[in-house]
Amino acid sequence: MGWLADERGLEKTKANYVPLTPLSTLKRAALVFPDHLAVVYGTHRKSYAELSDRVSRQASALAKLGVTPGDVVASILPNLPPQVEAHYGVPAAGAILNAINIRLDTDTVAYIFDHGEAKVVLVDTQFLPLAEAAAEAMEGPAPTIIECPDEQAGYPATGRYPVYEDLLAEADPDFAWIMPEDEWESIALNYTSGTTGRPKGVVFHHRGAYLNAMGQTISWRMVLHPVYLTIVPLFHCNGWCHPWMIPMVGGTMVCCRDITPTALFNAFADEGVTHFGGAPIVLNMLVNAPEDERRAFDQTVNIFTAGAPPAPATLAKIEPMGFDVTQVYGLTETYGPATECLWADRWDDLEGDSRAAIKARQGVPMPVYEQITVLDDNMDQIAMDGSTQGEIVMRGNAVMKGYLKNPEATAEAFKGGYFHSGDIAVQHDDGYIQIADRAKDIIISGGENISSVEVEGVLMGHPDVLLAAVVAKPDEKWGEVPCAFVELKEGASAGEEDLIQFCRETLAGFKSPKKVVFQELPKTSTGKIQKFALRKVAAVL
C-alpha cells in the first residue's frame, strides 16, 4: 500500500473537518452579500445582513421559550418570511423544524403534534383555528403557539398569543447559533401525505439538506444572484431544500402567499424572477391564464417541475411563453428532487411533441446521488429498452435518515441497500428514467397493464381539456378499466364520447377510457391530484 499505509497525523481536526450544514450557507451569505436583497414579500424587503439578524433573534426567542437542542419546533405557515427564517432559526437553536401542511385536517395535525412532540408552533393568523383545534384534540401536551400575523394579506394579530415580531424585537441579535457537532444530526421532520393511513415522519439530517441544496444549484446551472419565487410550499420537503439553496449563490427569495396567475406574472414582471419550482398544475395555470391576467417579462424563467409527469401538450405550449422547463423527480424521503431530465445536445433539433416527450422524462441522478436506477422484483437491473418496467430505487447522501418512531417501515423502505420509491418506470438505452406510474395507479385490465400517466397525457392533448386524471374503475368482465376524470377549460363543450374517441385515435382500444366524469379534480396543497379520492368515486360508478 506504500505511504498510504502510514496515516499518522492525518486525523480529522477543527482545521480540516466541519460538519456540513445549511446554516453555513446563510453565515457566508451574510458576510459576502450583506446588502444584497435576500427575502421579499410585498413591502417586506430584507438584506442578507438583516435576514441573519432576524434568524439570530428567532433562535434566541425560541431558546427563551424553553426550546433546547433536539426539540421539535413546528410551523403552520404559508410561503412567508417567518417560514423562510424558521429554516435557519430553528436549527440555529439546535432544534428540528417540522413544517406542517396548512391544508391538513384537525385530526392529522393533532397526530403530527403528538407524534413529533412539538414544543412550539409558529402559526399564521389565518390558520390559528386549525392549530387551536389540533392542540385541543392532542393526547399529549400542546405546543406553545406563536402567532405570525400577515397584515399585507388582511390577517392582523388577534391578541390571543405572543406575536412573532414582538418576540424578535425582544430577542438577542448576538445569539450564538448552535451548529451541529455531527452532520447526521436531524434538521427537519416532514410528514408524508398519509392517504392510506397515518402519515409517516420523514427525518432529514444536516448533511443531506446541505448536499441536496448544493446539488440543485449545479443541476439548475445557477449563477450569482438568481431571483427565486416560492411556489413549492415550504412545508413540502422544506420547499425542495430551496430555502437552503438560494443563499449559496446570493439569491433573492420572493415569497408568494397565494399561487394565482396574477401573482405569478406580477412576480415575473416586477421582481425579475428567474427560477421557480412547481407541480405541472402550475405550468397548466400559466398556459391557460387569461390574457388580462398576464404581463410581459424579458428574462427567461427557469422551472423545475415535479410531482407528476407533465403532459407533453403542456410542455409544448409553455416554453414559447418564455419558460425553460426541466423535469425533476423525487420524494419527501429524498429531500425533494433526486433526478433531473438533463438536456443533451443530441436533442437540440427536436421540436413540438418530440421535444416535449423528452422533457417529460424524469432523467438521471442529480450530483449528490450515488445511484438511481430501476430494478425488477428480484432486485436486478431491468433491460434499458424503454418498455420493460420496474421500480425506481436509489441510494446516496440525500436519502432520509428514516421514519420517526417506525423502524419497521424504515427497514422495509431500505431493503436490499436501496430506498424503494414505489414508483414504476422504464429506462431508456441512454439510462434516462421515465415513470410509467405509481405501483398503486397501474390499471390491470384483462391481464394487461395500463399506465394512467399515458392515458392522461393523451387526454391533456385535447384542446378542451384543462386537467385530466385516470384511475381504475371496477369491471365485471375485465376486472378494471380506465376511468377518466376531467376538468374542461372555460367555455369548452367536449362530451364523454368526444374524449373517448379522441383517445382511441392514439391509444389501443383497451387503454382508452370507458367512462369520463366531468368534475373539479381534488388536489393536494402542492398541486398533486388526489387519485385515492377519485378511486373512491370510480368504485361506485
Q: For 375-405, what is each residue's pLDDT tens digit?
A: 999 999 999 999 999 999 999 999 999 999 9
pLDDT confidence tier of residue 37, bands split at 50, 70 and 90:
very high
DSSP designation for 337: E
Lowest mean pLDDT among 66-80, 183-197, 217-231, 251-265: 183-197
Indicate whether 66 pLDDT > 60. yes
**The pLDDT of residue 154:** 97
User: Mean pLDDT: which of 259-273, 344-358, 469-483 is highest?
Assistant: 259-273
Q: Which pLDDT score, from 0 to 100, does residue 353 have?
A: 74
β 186-191/479-488 pair status: unpaired
Answer for the pair 453, 481: CB distance below 8 angstroms, yes or no.
no
Q: How many CB atoms lie within 10 A of CB 44?
A: 12
Q: Which CATH number fits domain 259-439: 3.90.180.10, 1.10.533.10, 3.90.700.10, 3.40.50.12780?
A: 3.40.50.12780
Mean pLDDT of 228-249: 96
The CATH architecture that domain 49-205 belongs to is: 3-Layer(aba) Sandwich (3.40)
CATH match of 442-539 with 1.10.3470.10: no
- pTM for this predicted structure: 0.86
Which three-class secondary structure state does DSSP give residue 325?
strand
Enumerate the domain spans of the chain. 49-205, 259-439, 442-539
- % of the chain at pLDDT higher than 90: 79
Q: Which residues contact 168 (CB under 8 A, 6 or more apart)?
A: 54, 57, 58, 61
Tell me if 49-205 shares its fold with 442-539.
Answer: no
Sheet containing 301-305: order of strands = 44-47, 37-41, 252-255, 227-230, 275-278, 301-305, 323-331, 336-340, 364-365
Query: Has residue 437 got a pLDDT over 80?
Result: no
Q: Which of 86-90, 159-163, 522-526 has the lowest mean pLDDT?
A: 522-526
* pLDDT computed for residue 414 by the predictor: 98
Per-residue pLDDT at 194 exceeds 60: no
Annotate 125-189 with DSSP letters as a single string: GGGHHHHHHHHHH-SSPPPEEEEE-BGGGTB---SSS-BHHHHHHHS-TTPPP---SSTTSEEEE
